[in-house]
Copies of this chain bind each other. A is one copy, B any other.
Amino acid sequence: MIIGVLGLKGSYSEKAAMQWIEKNGTNNAHILEYCGDIQDVFVLLKNGSCDIGVVPLENSIEGSVGVTLDMLLENDMTVIGETIVAIEHCLLSRGKKEDIKVILSHPQGLGQCRHFLKEHFPEAELRTTGSTSHAAKLATEFEEMAAIASPDTAGLYDLNIIMPDIQDMKQNHTRFIIITKPDSPAARSLMMKDGQEEACKTSIIVYLDRDRPGALYEILGEFARNEINLTRIESRPSKKVLGDYIFYIDLEGCISDAIIKDAIYNIRSKVGMLKMLGSYPMFDPYCESNRVYMEKSMPSTD
């Protein structure tokens, strides 16, 4: 099985992929295919160069990863799983703190450390990279460069941890999703089976007609009446005109449950577009067996 992940060796997406494999252990051997950016993961899946892809979806400090949301709308992919990774950004460099003039990271990494950057490096030049691990690799070039990336990348790219745990909030987690082409053998072998016991989540995208202002309320009503719990509702511009939105909704339950199937059937008639992203086992951050994934690998600096 070939797994497309965002970034280079040591990336958070690689960690997410390894976590997910460990928990959902297929015994298949797997190869990681490292991708320069999120779009590339989707491209590789589309052209069959990888079987599953692992991309970040949302972060607890900086929110949604817009590119991933857009790609889920634009491409025909099925979500088959999710996992949460503890993020522990460090400032990594070959040089000394006082020499740092350029700081590189993924836009999410820069956003998660916004206050830190403003406080400690107000004059530094900020460069965006396709992933945090790519930033680490580039930072090896000059001593005046630093990357915001995981402590794992320090060892991999021979960088020093200049400052550990630099995100604006000590608690920092990113949710990753595992995606496949709907008709691929990987999708079929890894998708949830009917009758599988685990708690399940379903993700959909809906586009409401602009001229029906109460439509969002009606949709939420359909879920509320059936006691279907929504875990997330996120809007994203339709990109047509300002003030026109698409909604990404995650709900508890599986599309094979009659109650979920009926609710989604009813909603379809009320919206301009409804796209099913898939049903998949929920990652419960409070479950004992998942605790290890929620904790940082380094001692906190508190």
Say yes or no: A217 contacts B221, CB within 8 Å. Answer: yes
CB within 8 Å of B: which of A87-139?
107, 110-111, 114, 118, 125-129
* Interchain CA distance A28-B127 in the complex, whole Å: 41
* Interchain CA distance A229-B217 in the complex, whole Å: 11
- Is A224's CB within 8 Å of the partner chain B? yes
* Interchain CA distance A39-B122 in the complex, whole Å: 12
- Is A68's CB within 8 Å of the partner chain B? no
* Interchain CA distance A213-B228 in the complex, whole Å: 9
- Is A62's CB within 8 Å of the partner chain B? yes
Main secondary structure of the interface of A (DSSP, over half): mixed
- Is A23's CB within 8 Å of the partner chain B? no
- Is A239's CB within 8 Å of the partner chain B? yes
Which positions in A face B, CB cutoff 8 Å?
A: 37, 39, 58-63, 66-67, 84, 107, 110-111, 114, 118, 125-129, 168-169, 171, 173-175, 213-214, 216-217, 220-221, 223-224, 229-237, 239-245, 285
Q: Which 7 pairs of residues, A with B, have the shortest CB-CB distance? A: A60-B242, A173-B242, A217-B220, A217-B224, A213-B229, A126-B128, A127-B127
